[in-house]
Structures are given as C-alpha cells and as structure tokens.
C-alpha cells in the first residue's frame, strides 16, 4: 500500500535508511547492500530524491556519499512516517512551536544572554542557515544541554551560534556577512536587552 503511495519499493527502502540515520552518509554500493536492491534502481531513486531535496550529496575519498537533508521542509513529518523511533518522531510532529514565554524562561535559565534571535527551521519562510543566535556569556555546558533539548523537540539537528557581546557588536558595526544574512532573512528577536538591533537600524 505505502509502495503505491510513494512510488516504488526502492524509494521506500531508501527513505527508511536515510530517515533512520540522520547525520550518517552512505555511498551507492553500500546502499545497495544495505537495502538489497539493484544498483541502477538505487541510482535512479537517489537522483529523484536529490531533485526533491530530501537528500544531499558530498564527495570524500573519491566516493559520492548521500545523506538525508535535515533542513528539508518536510523532514519532520517524513521521519514520523519512516522513522523506527515512532514516539520521538511523532512527538516532534505534534509538538507546537515553543511560545515566547517558554523561550524567555529558557533564556533566563541559561544566564548571561543579552540578545537571542531565532530563524531557520524555527521561523516559517526563513532562508537562514542559522536557527538560533545567542549573544552573551552563557555557560557552554548549559548551552549544549539547551540545544540538545531543542533538537529532541524539533526532531533534527540545529545550527546555532554563540557570540560574546563585544564580538557581536563589532560584527554588526562592520556589517559582517554572517550577521547581515541572518538579519535580512525572516527572524524573530526573542531578547535584546541592550536594544542593539534597534540602534543599529
């Protein structure tokens, strides 16, 4: 039944393989062994999936490797369908985006956060490659635990950056490319204690 819905048995097997191994890459012959399908069929379906955007490729040691693109817009619902860890995947789909109040409480727990901006996967229509920017001097261990919790809620890896206040102030003053691209894409300012973004406009 699901084969008919998604087009082919090989594609279903590939989706199972990639969505159960986020962050892991495979080369073609390895894939054919793992899913027990013909190499031509695998290559054809990999090309289709690349065109759709669900997987991405990279070259290493003269081999072309493929892995799931966790920033693909339908990654979370597809993982809910094809992922073996149904509880985690389903909760990721059902979990609502955290409210601003939740975010403020979390930022307070981190301590030392003067500015926080979310974009990327957190903001619909955002083209930013950065999901969360934190400015201040939070404890690294707390940030790591915080990001881990967010990744579990989102069901995917997140791209984040932590800058000191001085570094951020310098970067924004020279119109640094990283900051400019983040602020020119759709984003939500969660906190700006020093009103630095308002002053820089």
Instruction: Quote the pLDDT of residue 125.
Output: 79
> Considering 94, 116, 150, which residue would you say is the last residue of a domain?
94
Q: Taking Cα atoms as reference points, which of 19, 13, 55, 15 lies closest to residue 35? A: 13
98, 100, 104, 106 alpha-carbon torsion, rounded to 10°: 0
The count of structural domains within the chain is 2
**Which segments of the chain are extended strands (E)?**
26-27, 55-60, 63-68, 113-118, 132-136, 160-163, 188-192
Q: Taking Cα atoms as reference points, which of 129, 135, 114 lies closest to residue 71? A: 129
Instruction: Quote the pLDDT of residue 92.
Output: 41
pTM: 0.60
Q: Taking Cα atoms as reference points, which of 57, 51, 52, 49 lies closest to residue 26? A: 57
| Contact residues for 13 (Cβ-Cβ < 8 A; gap 6+) | 35, 36, 37
> Considering 63, 94, 125, which residue would you say is the last residue of a domain?
94
Do 83 and 107 have their domain in common? no
Residues listed for the chain: 201
Instruction: Quote the pLDDT of residue 200.
Output: 64
Do 195 and 105 have their domain in common? yes
Q: How many CB atoms lie within 10 A of CB 137?
A: 15
Task: For residue 35, give its domain range.
Answer: 2-94
Do 12 and 77 have their domain in common? yes
Do 80 and 108 have their domain in common? no
Token couple for 40: 């031509």
pLDDT in tens, the chain (201 residues): 455 556 788 998 999 899 888 888 999 999 999 999 999 999 999 999 999 889 999 998 888 999 998 888 788 788 888 877 644 444 443 333 444 447 888 888 888 899 999 988 888 778 888 999 999 999 899 999 999 888 888 778 888 999 998 899 888 889 888 888 888 888 988 888 878 776 666
């Amino acid at each position: 039944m699901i084969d008919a819905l998604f087009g082919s048995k090989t594609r279903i097997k590939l989706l199972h393989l990639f969505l159960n191994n986020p962050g892991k890459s495979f080369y073609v012959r390895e894939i054919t062994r793992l899913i027990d399908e013909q190499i031509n069929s695998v290559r054809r379906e990999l090309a289709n999936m690349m065109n759709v955007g669900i997987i991405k490729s990279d070259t290493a040691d003269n081999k072309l490797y493929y892995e799931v693109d966790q920033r693909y817009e339908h990654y979370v619902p597809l993982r809910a369908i094809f992922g073996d860890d149904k509880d985690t995947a389903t909760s990721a789909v059902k979990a609502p985006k955290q409210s601003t109040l939740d975010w403020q409480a979390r930022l307070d727990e981190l301590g030392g956060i003067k500015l926080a901006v979310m974009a990327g996967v957190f903001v619909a229509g955002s083209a930013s490659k950065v999901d969360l920017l934190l400015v201040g001097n939070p404890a690294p261990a707390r940030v790591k635990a915080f990001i881990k919790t967010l990744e579990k809620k989102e069901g995917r890896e997140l791209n984040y950056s932590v800058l000191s206040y001085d570094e951020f102030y310098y970067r924004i003053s020279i119109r640094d490319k990283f900051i400019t691209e983040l602020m020119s894409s759709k984003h939500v300012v969660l906190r700006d204690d020093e009103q630095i973004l308002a002053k820089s406009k």
